[in-house]
Structure 1
């Protein structure tokens, strides 16, 4: 009964060994990586607000939150914001308790909450929409993300910069060690996870200035790993 298991184990070990050998070239080689980064001025944004209200009655808490969301949506629509540019979450209601030193927990009310996310197509209108949120009764911004349109073209530029960086490093290393740089044997590329610029998480304040949004820069990066053959001159 043990023999088939031992045979299978030996086979798996053999395959793993072959894969390991195949992963490393048998000829002299040079491994390097290239990094590219592009700085871009943001031209759009996205922000998320959170509406939270606590009342003794769950239905009253729900109505207060819904009223604020409806006011904000109406204001956005009046400013020409399209429906596909904003989304709102489902209502979430949770009981609130207080815990005295002695005795059982006591129900003191219900907290109702919803979040809304707004996509700002024109960055210079960001302050306008934040002021509108404040006027609607929203007092908390979870985050403001600065973004750039057509990120693909900037990603391509960062990728080409990474390729050039890898080539330059490889040529310099080969020359420094007295070798000639040969053909590319392997290229490893993993899609980078570029994140939009997160400005801040804050409470809404009518005195907050966001003129610095246009002065911010988004860094788009890319990376590539390359293995070259190298030869004696």
Structure 2
């Protein structure tokens, strides 16, 4: 059984990547840009509890010349935050503002519905109706009669799958430009297995 729901929450991974031959300089540069990104998010009234650091790393990368001789080390610094945006109409503006503030990595955008209970109920009812119809069809073809239901199992209904608008995701414009994003619809799928007594 399937049910469709309009998303009202967006999840975005926003990252800042910095490189420098000096580890302290790389960290300082990354921290400064990350703060600007955080300040940009605050302008969109993103609650602090909806901004969670998911990765901070410092990685030394050895550099070599054409002869294979090591010439130095470049330090890569990454800081990624997981942002929950509860006004999905602002997704494009938030991404544009974050990039303008210094973000240079948008790893993913996911849409969800804060309350899926009604849609899940519809999907379950649809799944049961489909299962009953199929069982009756099979019983008729086999020349038997369905008896009482012995067992019912329900599966699925977890992470909803997106159904994108025809436009899909748009590409970004210049720095700071709003990024066109289409949330589309989400589909919740529930499978039901019903075991009947056969007469």
**TM tier, shorter chain?**
0.7 to 0.9
Encode CA deviations 1:154-209: one digit per residue, 9 max, x unaligned.
Answer: 11211111111111110111112211111112223334432453989999643674
Which of residues 177, 183, 194 is equivalent to 2:159?
194
* Cα pair 1:97 1:107 within 8 Å, conserved: yes
**What is the match of residue 113 of structure 1?**
78
Structure showing greater radius of gyration is 1
3-state SS of the aligned residue for 1:221? strand
Which of residues 179, 183, 193 is equivalent to 1:225?
193
Query: Hey, what's the Cα distance between the residues in 2 that align with 1:90 and 1:169?
Result: 49
**What is the match of residue 33 of structure 2?**
68
Query: Hey, what's the Cα distance between the residues in 2 that align with 1:42 and 1:82?
Result: 19
TM-superposed CA distance for 1:96, in Å, is: 1.0
Alignment: residue pair count? 194
- More divergent stretch after superposition (162-171 vs 187-196): 187-196
Q: Say whether residues 1:123 and 2:81 are aligned partners.
A: no
* Cα pair 2:172 2:180 within 8 Å, conserved: no
TM-superposed CA distance for 1:43, in Å, is: 2.0
**What is the match of residue 26 of structure 1?**
none
Query: With structure 2 as the length reference, what TM-score do the two structures score?
Result: 0.85
Q: Say whether residues 1:47 and 2:12 are aligned partners.
A: yes
Q: 1:75-154 residue pairs with structure 2 within 5 A?
A: 75-100=40-65, 102=67, 105-154=70-119
Q: CA RMSD in A?
A: 2.5
Q: Which has the higher helix share?
A: 1
3-state SS of the aligned residue for 2:139? helix
Encode CA deviations 1:31-79: one digit per residue, 9 max, x unaligned.
Answer: xxxxx01122222211111211110100111111111111111122233
3-state SS of the aligned residue for 2:16? strand
Query: Hey, what's the Cα distance between the residues in 1 that align with 2:178 and 2:137?
Result: 50
Query: Hey, what's the Cα distance between the residues in 2 that align with 1:204 and 1:108?
Result: 33
Q: Which has the higher strand share?
A: 2
* Cα pair 2:12 2:108 within 8 Å, conserved: yes
Give ranges in structure 1 of 5+ residues lacking alignment: 1-35
Query: Hey, what's the Cα distance between the residues in 2 that align with 1:152 and 1:67?
Result: 42
Give ranges in structure 2 of 5+ residues lacking alignment: none
**What is the match of residue 163 of structure 1?**
128
